[in-house]
Structure 1
Amino acid sequence: MAKPNKKGPRRTVQISCLQCKAPIFKYRKGGKGALVKCFTERIVEDYTETSCICPGCGQQFARETMIRGAPALKIVGGKVHMK
């Protein structure tokens, strides 16, 4: 299978926690759809201390996984907000 493009799209979105509104990271997202997965190589700025845990309220918002041979975060539905 094809790996995702490392350079990725130019559009960046701000990902924040839906419960406490704390910023989680800035991400280079492609397409118009919902945020289902985040490839770790496309994360521009990371505000979390521990991976997949919100820095504000401490809830888990994603799971680490491998997608198409690249490390990624699978987002748990209803836990994050994309702006």
Structure 2
Amino acid sequence: MAKPNKKGPVRTVNVYCARCKTQLFKYRKGGKGALVKCFIERIVEDMTNAPCVCPGCEQQFARQTMIRGAPAYKMIGGKVHMK
């Protein structure tokens, strides 16, 4: 299968924890839909200490997986929001 573009989209969104409102990372997102998955190569700035765990409230917000041959975070519904 085809891999996602490394450069990817230009639009950057901030991803926050839904419970404690801590910023998790800045992400180059394509399209205008909900945030379902985040390709790791598109993350611009990562504020987490451990992968997929919020540094503020220690809640798991995603699961690591492989999507189209590239490592990604699959978001758990309702755990994150973006601006």
* Structure 1, unaligned runs of 5 or more: none
Letter in 1 for 2:49: E
In percent, how many aligned pairs have the same letter? 76
Partner of 1:22: 22
2-structure distance, mates of 1:7, 1:50? 25
Partner of 2:42: 42
Paired residue total: 83
TM-score (norm 1): 0.99
Map 1:1-83 to 2 at 5 A. 1-83=1-83
TM-score (norm 2): 0.99
Letter in 1 for 2:40: T
Q: 1:20-72 deviations in whole A, cap 9, x for unaligned? A: 00000000000000000000000000000000000100000000000000000
Letter in 1 for 2:3: K
2-structure distance, mates of 1:24, 1:57? 11
* Structure 2, unaligned runs of 5 or more: none
1-structure distance, mates of 2:41, 2:60? 20
2-structure distance, mates of 1:6, 1:15? 19
